[in-house]
Amino acid sequence: MLISKLRTLLLTAALLSFWAPLAFSQSSTGLNRADARTAEENSDKTSPTTDEASSEMLSRWSFSLESIYAFENIENPWFAAAFHPHKKNPRAYKFATEILSVRYRLTDNAGPLFLRGNLEFGIGPIFTSIVKGPESYFVGAAGGFRYNFVQPGARLIPYIELRGGVGKSDARKLYNSLQSDATLSYLLGGGLRYQASSRWSVALGVIDQHLSTAYFADRDYGTDALGFNAAIELRY
């Protein structure tokens, strides 16, 4: 009787010693899987999309090559905005312009609703072939600011831009033409930029190009021409 009870007790102890480690191992595996799923779900909720993350990690520097054809003679927009009478230049200048710019993004994307975006500064050489007008060229440097209206995940990005420049032209000093080789220019425009990839983008817009001698001569016969611009940009 005593031997039978001891045998039963030993058998029960052996079974417990065999099954206990196996049951603990299965329980630990289930907990680890549950923890992994929870961590993955939290990561999906908090981590940004690939496009947004790559956009934030990109350098603030970029290069752009821009072509402009300005053909429509218009009144100076600054005088028009101030309701100051200023006639169009009767010579109706036309410009074909190339600009190579290096840009630096000054701010991160910020702002409320549709105003969310970033500010960039750009500068570079400018060459203008004066297609219609007494002069034949303007060459110099132009720099200024561009504001990009950036929405999360958007590839199509509206922008506005204002640049100013100074350089040299072959002034003819005729009536209603440039009066000095030292020449002032500004470019005021806006358009849409398409982000083709994390590094490459293309842009198309409307732009006003101005040429005048400003304070470089006693007389100043400025001219403004409205047209289109197209650009390709590489961020690195």
- Tell me: the pLDDT tens digits for 118-164? 999 999 999 999 999 999 999 999 999 999 999 999 999 999 999 99
**Residues 28, 62 within the same domain:** no
Residues present in the chain in total: 236
Indicate the helix (H) or strand (E) that contains 197. none
Does residue 82 sit in the same domain as residue 19? no
- Rounded Cα gap, residues 207 and 5, in angstroms: 101
CA 173 to chain centre: 40
What is the per-residue pLDDT across 25-67, written as a single tens digit (0 to 9) for each? 454 444 445 454 554 555 444 444 444 444 455 689 999 999 9
Do both 148 and 72 map to the same domain? Answer: yes
Do 1 and 75 fall into the same domain? no
Q: Is the pLDDT of residue 80 over 80?
A: no
Residues 215 and 99 placed together within one structural domain of the fold: yes
Task: State the residue range of the domain holding 106.
Answer: 53-235
Our CA angle for 168, 171, 176, nearest 5°, is 125
My answer on whether 66 and 4 are in the same domain is no
> Any idea which residue has 């402009």 for tokens?
68
Looking at the fold, whether 99 and 164 belong to one and the same domain comes out as yes
- Let me know whether 30 and 87 are in one domain: no
Q: 143 Cβ partners below 8 Å, 6+ apart?
A: 121, 122, 123, 124, 163, 164, 165
- As for how many domains the chain has, the answer is 2
Report the mean per-residue pLDDT for the chain: 83
**Domain of 79: which CATH number?**
2.40.160.20
